[in-house]
């Protein structure tokens, strides 16, 4: 926290080690010591998920920085897009196919685009950049080169999936094709648009992953933007793409930046390594500090989290700040048995400890919705997807993607099955994220076939 303002800093540490606290307190100290150079309006905190953005904003209030902007990557990308191109982003496809999103976030794509010749010295029009990007994503040879450069971290099936999806996006919508037809004849029985809920709904859209790529391509051809941040904080940086880091760096005045992350918690295919991340940001000589103690998780949870990572765990176990209660594991023959048990246990918990915070961290949103329906008569139970956390006592029913950077007194993993968490590196990291949200006690339910990642954790 005492590092000079102009020294870029990389803060690393395991879950609960205080990375976010260090980054935000450094920001507050820098602003306090030189308020003219670092006014709140020129500070920027950028995080991947809305839940963490809301938490960071709450943490900045008592530090006197309630006016400092805290934004998610998507929100920041939309604003930067408006600033660079003078127009809001085009219509975005609601949910990018997973393999397509994985390819568009991958470091191999960044490196191939970075090395392409870029002769223009002025920013081309958005329409031209969209055509250029579209042409690349329907070029099988180019996509094959991306997959080859990914060295086994992208499946070959991503090629055909990207080709199919991009061709739909580049096609004309049914409404455009029927532009000369009487609009009354295009009315549908359900009142929806002609293409809605069909593959043709993708026509004319971009993916949210395209925004930083287009900003990156524009940055390669033109000067930096006029308005820049005086200090930048990027938290959970292991899930920030090289495209996003490059563009964030171009919007930064000088080298006053704090990057915080943990490679063990990466949940996307965007992590390339800290040297590559710092180079993309424009801060290759950043000082590095690694926080060795996890203050959130008691020892039994910290040990389980390390064991879950298996062969990808860091060589040294994080030190736990306290001993704590053992992890409780419950196996059930079916999902229905597990859900009924958890519903009763959660009701008992809320009655016993009304001031406690609990999170049911599901592998995906559908499991979360199912459990929430089961607890519909329980006013303390809230469905918290897409960052909709209130940070009040009670039970938040959520998924792994939404809880990074957050913590709760009690955490329940309701679906620790072989299907939800197979023996893959991605599943190891996702289960690691889920279990390390717990500050007091962790319960794990395994309906059906338990995840092989629980090997060594006793039942009961």
Q: Are residues 151 and 53 in the same domain?
A: yes
Residues 248 and 316 in one domain: no
Question: How many structural domains does the chain have?
Answer: 2
Indicate if 66 and 11 belong to the same structural domain. yes
Same domain, 89 and 116: yes
Same domain, 274 and 387: no
Domain that holds residue 318: 299-454
Last residue of a domain, one of 266, 291, 316: 291
Q: Is 337 among the domain residues? A: yes
348 and 330 Cβ atoms separated by less than 8 Å: no
User: pLDDT by residue (tens digit) across 183-209?
Assistant: 665 555 555 555 565 677 889 999 999
**Within a domain: 459:** no
Q: Are residues 255 and 370 in the same domain?
A: no
Residue 64 domain-assigned (yes or no): yes
Residues 82 and 35 in one domain: yes
**pLDDT, one tens digit for every residue, the chain (460 residues):** 788 899 999 999 999 999 999 999 999 999 999 999 999 999 999 999 999 999 999 999 999 999 999 999 999 999 999 999 999 999 999 999 999 999 999 999 999 999 987 655 566 789 999 999 999 999 999 999 999 999 999 999 999 999 999 999 999 865 665 555 556 655 555 555 555 656 778 899 999 999 999 999 999 887 656 568 999 999 999 999 999 999 999 999 989 999 999 999 888 778 999 999 999 999 999 999 999 899 999 999 999 999 999 999 988 888 888 899 999 999 999 999 999 999 999 999 999 999 999 999 999 999 999 999 999 889 999 999 989 899 999 999 999 999 999 999 999 999 999 999 999 999 999 999 999 999 999 999 999 999 999 998 988 6
Are 213 and 322 members of one domain? no
**CATH at residue 22:** 3.40.50.300
Is the pTM here over 0.85, yes or no?
yes
Same domain flag for 190 and 284? yes
Judgement on whether residues 39 and 117 belong to the same structural domain of the protein = yes
Residues 272 and 417 in one domain: no
Same domain flag for 257 and 212: yes
Reduce the secondary structure of the chain to three states and give it as a string. Answer: CCCCCCCCEEEEECCCCCHHHHHHHHHHHHHHHCCCCCCHHHEEEEECCHHHHHHHHHHHHHHCCCCCCEEEHHHHHHHHHHHHHCCCCCCECCCCCHHHHHHHHCHHHHHHHHHCCCCCCCCCCHHHHHHHHHHHHCCHHHHHHHHHHCCCCCCCHHHHHHHHHHHHHHCCCHHHHCCCCCHHHHCCCCCCCCCCCCHHHHCCCECCCHHHHHHHHHHHHCCCCCCCECEEEECCHHHCCHHHHHHHHHCECCCCEEEEECHHHCCCCCCCCHHHHHHHHCCCCCEEEEECEECCCCHHHHHHHHHHHHHHCCCCCCEECCCCCCCEEEEECCHHHHHHHHHHHHHHHHHHCCCCEEEEEECCHHHHHHHHHHCCCCCCEEECCCCCCCCCCEEEEEEHHHCCCCCEEEEEECCCECCCCCCCHHHHHHHHHHHCCEEEEEEEEEECCECHHHCCCCCC
In a domain, 279, yes or no: yes
460 within a domain of the structure (yes/no): no
Looking at 291, 321, 349, the residue that finishes a domain is 291
């Amino acid at each position: 926290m005492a590092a000079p303002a102009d020294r870029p800093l990389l803060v690393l540490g395991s879950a609960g080690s205080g990375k976010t606290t260090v980054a935000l307190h450094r920001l507050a100290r820098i602003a306090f010591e030189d308020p003219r150079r670092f006014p709140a309006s020129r500070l920027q905190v950028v995080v991947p998920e809305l839940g963490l953005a809301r938490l960071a904003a709450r943490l900045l209030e008592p530090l006197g920085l309630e006016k400092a902007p805290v934004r998610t990557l998507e929100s920041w990308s939309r604003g930067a897009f408006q600033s660079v191109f003078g127009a809001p982003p085009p219509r975005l496809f609601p949910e990018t196919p997973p393999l397509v999103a994985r390819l568009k976030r991958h470091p191999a794509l960044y490196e191939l685009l970075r090395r392409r010749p870029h002769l223009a010295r002025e920013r081309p029009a958005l329409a031209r950049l969209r055509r250029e990007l579209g042409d690349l994503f329907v070029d099988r040879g180019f996509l094959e080169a991306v997959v080859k450069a990914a060295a086994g971290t992208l499946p070959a099936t991503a090629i055909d999936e990207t080709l199919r999806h991009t061709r739909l996006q580049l096609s004309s919508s049914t409404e455009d094709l029927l532009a000369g037809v009487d609009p009354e004849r295009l009315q549908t029985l359900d009142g929806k648009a002609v293409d809605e809920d069909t593959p043709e709904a993708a026509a004319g859209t971009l993916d949210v992953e395209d925004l930083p790529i287009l900003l990156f391509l524009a940055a390669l051809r033109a000067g930096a933007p006029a308005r820049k941040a005086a200090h930048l904080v990027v938290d959970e940086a292991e899930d920030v793409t090289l495209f996003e880091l490059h563009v964030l760096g171009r919007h930064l005045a000088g080298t006053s930046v704090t990057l915080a992350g943990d490679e063990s918690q990466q949940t996307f295919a965007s992590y390339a390594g800290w040297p590559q991340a710092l180079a993309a940001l424009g801060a290759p000589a950043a000082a590095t500090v690694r926080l060795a103690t996890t203050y959130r998780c008691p020892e039994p949870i910290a040990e389980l989290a390390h064991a879950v990572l298996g062969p990808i765990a860091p060589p040294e176990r994080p030190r736990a700040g306290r001993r704590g209660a053992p992890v409780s594991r419950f196996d059930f023959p079916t999902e229905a048995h597990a859900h009924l048990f958890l519903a009763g246990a959660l009701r008992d918990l809320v009655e016993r400890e009304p001031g406690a915070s609990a999170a049911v961290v599901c592998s995906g949103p559908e499991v979360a919705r199912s459990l929430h329906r089961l607890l519909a008569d329980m006013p303390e139970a809230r469905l918290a997807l897409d960052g909709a956390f209130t940070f009040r006592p009670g039970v938040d029913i959520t998924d792994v993607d939404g809880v990074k950077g957050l913590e709760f007194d009690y955490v329940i993993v309701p679906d620790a099955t072989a299907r939800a968490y197979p023996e893959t590196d991605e599943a190891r990291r996702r289960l690691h994220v889920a279990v390390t949200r717990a500050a007091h006690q962790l319960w794990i339910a395994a309906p059906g076939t338990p995840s092989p990642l629980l090997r060594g954790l006793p039942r009961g």
